[in-house]
Each structure stands twice: as C-alpha cells, then as structure tokens.
Structure 1
Amino acid sequence: MASADVEDFIGQNRLLSDFVETFRGVSESDKHWKSRREFIFRNITDYEEQPRVDHLLALSMVWANNVFLGCRYNPELLEKVSEMAEGIVVEDAPVFKTRDELIQQQKQQI
C-alpha cells in the first residue's frame, strides 16, 4: 500500500481511521505519526482483535523508535518490523551511527 493508497483507504474507512487516530501519542510529531499510522494501516487486518491490536501498536512503536530515534532491538524483531513496514517511505529519516562507527570514523580522521 503506497502512501496515496493509505490516504484513499483512510477516506473510505472513516470509522477505522477514527479508531486508529486514538493511538497517536500526545507528543508524537506529525511526521512521526504519519509514518506510524501508515504502518498500523498496512498491518491492521492481521491484528484486528483487541489483544492483537495492542501487539500491533507495540510493533509500530518498535519500528518508529528504530527509524526516528535509532533505538536498537533484537535482530529478529527488527527484521519482522522491517518486513511489516516494507514500502513505507519516510522522508528525511535521520541516519544514526553506532558507537563503533563513530570511533572508527575518528580513527580515520587522525
């Protein structure tokens, strides 16, 4: 589902859209929320029952935290959320370097 497809889906599914909007974090930026909302819409049909919706929301936060904040998680978990987010385009996503990459970069500059 491309971003335009997500917007069309939202327009055609107001009740579901209103339900998903309740999951937005109070301090979540528009950019962050737009991407996480797309993640949720892309995967909601696999997680429609209540306990599973909670699981989907947790996965959406793992994905968003990794993309926007550089948080690290178990490699299998990151692989799963990356697959779930396949096709989501995040404009101006930050690029993070690990501590080891920063040290290596500093050594090369000396």
Structure 2
Amino acid sequence: MSSIDVNDFIQQNRALAEQVETFRGYWESEEHWKARREFLLRNINDYELEQLDHLVSLSMVWANNVFMGCQYSSELLEKVKEMAEGIVVKDAPIFKTREEIMKKQQGR
C-alpha cells in the first residue's frame, strides 16, 4: 500500500480511519505516525475488534525498532517486519547493536 493507496483507503473508510487516528500518541512526529498508521491500516482487517490492542502493540514494536533501534526477540521482529512489508520509511535512522560495535572494535 503506497501513500496514495493509504490516502484512498482513508477516504473510502472514514469511520475506520477515524478509529485508527485515536491510536496516535501525542509524542509521535508526523513521519513516525504516517508510517505506524500505514502499518495499522495494512493489518487491521486481520484482527477482530477485541484484538486491536494487540495490533496497536505490534505497530509500536515495529515503529520502536525502525525509529529508535529498540531490540526485541527475533521471532517478534520477524513477525512485525513481515506485517510491515512494503512500507517505505524515508531517511529511517540506522542503528548498530552493542554486539556490532564490539565486534568492530575487536577487529582493529
């Protein structure tokens, strides 16, 4: 779903889009929110109303990994990356783990 597709989806599904807007955190920048909103919209049809908290949590895991470099179990990261397949985040920061930094320093 490209940004054009997201906008079309929002126009065609106003009630759902308004519900998703309630999931935005006050701390989220526009760039951060647009990416996380796309994650939510791409996956919302796979979750029942009672499971939306779970979907919101998964979207935060994905966003925290992309925007802040937070690490989670490999199984969880694999799941959210699969759910986010095709979402393009421009100028996403690149993070190195402590292990990557230590390996580089030991190689010197």
> Residue 14 of structure 1 aligns to which amino acid in structure 2?
R
> Residue 95 of structure 2 aligns to which amino acid in structure 1?
F
Q: Which residue of 2 aligns with 1:7?
A: 7
Residue 54 in structure 1 maps to residue 43 in structure 2 = no
> Residue 51 of structure 2 aligns to which amino acid in structure 1?
R
- With normalisation by structure 1, the TM-score equals 0.91
Q: Deviations over 1:22-48 (max 9, x none)?
A: 000011111110000000000000113
Q: Which residue of 2 aligns with 1:77?
A: 76
**Alignment RMSD:** 1.2
Q: Deviations over 1:7-66 (max 9, x none)?
A: 1101111111111100000111111100000000000001131x2101100000010001
> Residue 69 of structure 2 aligns to which amino acid in structure 1?
G
> Residue 91 of structure 2 aligns to which amino acid in structure 1?
D
Shift of 1:3: 2.1
Partner Cα separation in structure 1 for residue 33 and residue 5 of structure 2 = 17
Please give the secondary structure, in 2, of the residue aligned with 1:64: helix
- With normalisation by structure 2, the TM-score equals 0.93
Q: Deviations over 1:60-84 (max 9, x none)?
A: 0010001111111111111110110
Gaps of 5+ in 2: none
Q: Which residue of 2 aligns with 1:97?
A: 96
